Amino acid sequence: MSRMTPLEPPYPPDVQQQFDAVMRGRPPLLLFRTIAASARHWRKFRGASLLDGEVLSLRERELVIDRVTAKLGCEYEWGVHVTAFAKAASLTEGEIAGTLETPPWRGSWSESELALIVAVDALHERADLSDAEFRGLAAHFRPDQILEILLLAGFYRTVAYLANGLRLPLEQTAARFADYQPSP
């Protein structure tokens, strides 16, 4: 059971429009409804969105999000993203399972994808990148993309804090960690 009461329908018209724009005809996620119970925090949360696809590819973005949320044990957000975006991002079942593994499963990752995973792991462990880890990113990504990676990892760390700290129940249709047991 969630530790905070989410916004319940009927939603204020502006919030309904925002939910509709994000959810594209599906019911709003519990995370969104919980944050939207505070107009200030919903406005701030929406302002930090990095899902526009302008800087990173969908696959790169989802790899960062899936790895961050997996490392933080945030099954709620990991499951939402795996369900909503993994197929469109061309993530295989093995790769999805690989986002849960430590150290990362290296089977099918490209060098640039492995650099993303290594960077996310470093940020998770130390909130920093070594010179070698930064060079690994710089070998494959432009400066604006590196900023996007750092912002994306930090934003989804915040999302994990929200989902885990509020004990949000898993979305019924979302993937589960147990659905993707890492390979031995």
| pTM across the whole model | 0.91
User: Considering Cα of 80, then 84, then 87, then 91, what sign does the dihedral take?
Assistant: negative
Q: What is the per-residue pLDDT for 106?
A: 60
Asked if residue 103 has a cis previous peptide bond (ω within 30° of 0), the answer is yes
Measured distance CA(111)–CA(137) in Å, rounded: 10
CATH class of the domain whose range is 58-178 = mainly alpha
Q: What is the per-residue pLDDT for 53?
A: 80
3-state DSSP percent of the chain in helix, strand and coil, to 5:
60, 0, 40
Q: What is the DSSP letter of 114?
A: H
- The pLDDT confidence band at residue 179, using thresholds 50, 70 and 90, is very high
Domain ranges of the chain: 13-47, 58-178
Who has greater pLDDT, 166 or 50? 166
Residues 6 or more apart from 24 whose CB is under 8 A from it?
none
Q: What is the per-residue pLDDT for 61?
A: 97
Measured distance CA(83)–CA(143) in Å, rounded: 30
Residue 50 reports pLDDT greater than 80 = no
Measured distance CA(129)–CA(6) in Å, rounded: 37
Neighbours of 183 (CB within 10 A): 10
Q: pLDDT of 105-153, one tens digit each?
A: 666 899 999 999 999 999 999 999 999 999 999 999 999 999 999 999 9
